[in-house]
């Protein structure tokens, strides 16, 4: 088999595309003050600007999955990466807030294409015995993108000003698009029947997987701002030390994604996802017992590892659930997955922020834990885990 037809090259390109997408998402963080000064935007407006990303992510995820089931994976992936490149160039040269909103909306749509079609392609190319392992490698690449995105953005901003971070991401997206243009994918689409969304959602395993993803994503999205505020306000850590806490946990999760992926292949993604949710719920309240910088790192690493035990197996879980429907049409199913993840990302911070303000971090985690455990046990029973 030639390199152009290699499954390994396809995985490398999906990993690179997902890495680029996460860098594009996070690289703007260091330039927020500049955006605020240039356009006179209030913190609320900047928040709306970044939330716009989720609007198109939710709106595009399921339709693009259906489209890729019908026309194949290559065209949508190339188109999505070109859209990512153009949107980041627009971000660099935008001279008003409406253009910035247009750029952010386009980035959200490109994100949906990359994740939905990319993971559908992995599910196409690998069978149940290998999918978890391969998806774990892809998730390691995306975690690395989140880790270095803000620091890379800050360094490029200091080196070349406002435009350089976005132009650098546009170049990475263009390279990924060219790579997919050159890739020759096996013709696995001709024999595949496009599956209606309603039919797929009537499969219990698919619906349960989607609900577990909402629980996981809302927990992740709740924890990130709440932990950051708690570390700063209660433990008195400065921003650099807060960043170290998150960074060390991200390194641990990055290293373990392939391990948990391989375990998913052996023991079922469904089972490991449920175990990961239970472990996350149980260790979450421990973080509020941290007494200094070092203990905060150790305890948050536990949470990062627990969340990794949810994320990678849940990707394998969705492929298992789709196969249980008697079809191999993974575009719509990963569209549902991405939609569920986006829904959790939108609801988690809102609920968590309100509870943090009303109860404080320790009580927030003590309240979230039993709710998360009860939901997970209910879903596990329904799934027959």
Separation of alpha carbons 22 and 269, rounded Å: 24
* pTM of structure: 0.83
- Domain-embedded: residue 228: yes
Separation of alpha carbons 385 and 382, rounded Å: 8
pLDDT at 214: 92
Q: Which structure tokens are listed for 1? A: 């088999």
Find the domain containing 279 and state its range. 197-383
User: Which residues, other chains included, contact 108 with Cβ-Cβ below 8 Å and sequence gap of 6+?
Assistant: 52, 53, 54, 55, 56, 57, 60
pLDDT at 280: 93
Separation of alpha carbons 383 and 385, rounded Å: 6
Do 135 and 229 belong to one domain? Answer: no
Q: For the chain, which residues score pLDDT lower than 70?
A: 1, 28-37, 41, 43-44, 46-47, 50, 150-151, 154, 186-198, 239, 327-328, 383-385
pLDDT at 43: 61
pLDDT at 69: 86
Please state the three-class secondary structure of 4-34 as a single string: HHCHHHHHHHHHHHHHHHHHHHHCCHHHHHH
Do 210 and 340 belong to one domain? Answer: yes
User: Which residues, other chains included, contact 266 with Cβ-Cβ below 8 Å and sequence gap of 6+?
Assistant: none
Do 256 and 279 belong to one domain? Answer: yes
pLDDT at 275: 93
CATH code assigned at 13: 1.20.1250.20
Do 255 and 377 belong to one domain? Answer: yes
pLDDT at 180: 93
Place of tokens 């394998």: 316
CA 108 to chain centre: 12
Q: Which structure tokens are listed for 159? A: 């080196």
Do 259 and 117 belong to one domain? Answer: no
3-state secondary structure of 186: coil
Separation of alpha carbons 315 and 303, rounded Å: 19
pLDDT at 190: 41
Based on the structure, what is the number of domains in the chain? 2
């Amino acid at each position: 088999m030639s390199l152009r037809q290699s499954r390994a090259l396809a995985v490398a390109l999906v990993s690179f595309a997902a890495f680029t997408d996460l860098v594009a998402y996070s690289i703007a963080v260091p330039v927020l003050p500049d955006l605020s000064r240039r356009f006179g935007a209030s913190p609320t407006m900047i928040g709306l600007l970044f939330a716009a990303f989720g609007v198109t992510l939710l709106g595009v995820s399921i339709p693009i999955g259906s489209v890729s089931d019908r026309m194949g994976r290559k065209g949508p992936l190339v188109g999505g990466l070109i859209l990512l490149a153009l949107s980041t160039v627009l971000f660099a040269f935008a001279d008003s807030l409406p253009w910035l909103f247009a750029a952010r909306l386009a980035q959200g749509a490109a994100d949906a294409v990359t994740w939905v079609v990319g993971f559908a392609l992995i599910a196409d190319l690998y069978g149940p015995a290998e999918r978890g392992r391969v998806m774990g490698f892809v998730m390691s690449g995306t975690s690395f993108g989140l880790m270095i995105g803000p620091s890379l953005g800050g360094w490029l901003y200091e080196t070349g000003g406002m435009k350089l971070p976005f132009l650098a991401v546009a170049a990475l997206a263009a390279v990924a698009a060219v790579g997919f243009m050159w890739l020759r994918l096996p013709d696995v689409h001709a024999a595949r029947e496009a599956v209606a969304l309603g039919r797929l959602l009537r499969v219990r395993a698919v619906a349960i997987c989607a609900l577990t993803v909402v629980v996981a994503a809302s927990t992740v999205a709740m924890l990130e701002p709440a932990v950051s505020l708690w570390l700063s306000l209660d433990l008195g850590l400065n921003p650099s030390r807060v960043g170290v806490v998150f960074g060390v946990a991200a390194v641990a999760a990055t290293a373990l994604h392939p391990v948990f992926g391989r375990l998913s292949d052996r023991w079922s993604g469904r089972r490991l996802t449920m175990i990961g949710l239970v472990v996350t719920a149980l260790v979450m309240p421990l973080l509020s017992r941290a007494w200094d910088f070092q203990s905060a790192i150790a305890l948050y690493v536990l949470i990062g590892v627990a969340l990794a035990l949810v994320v990678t197996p849940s990707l394998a879980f969705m492929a298992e659930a789709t196969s249980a429907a008697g079809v191999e049409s993974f575009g719509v199913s990963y569209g549902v997955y991405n939609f569920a993840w986006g829904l959790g990302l939108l609801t988690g911070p809102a609920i968590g922020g309100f509870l943090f303000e009303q109860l404080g971090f320790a009580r927030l985690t003590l309240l979230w834990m039993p709710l998360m455990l009860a939901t997970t046990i209910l879903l596990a029973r329904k799934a027959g885990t």
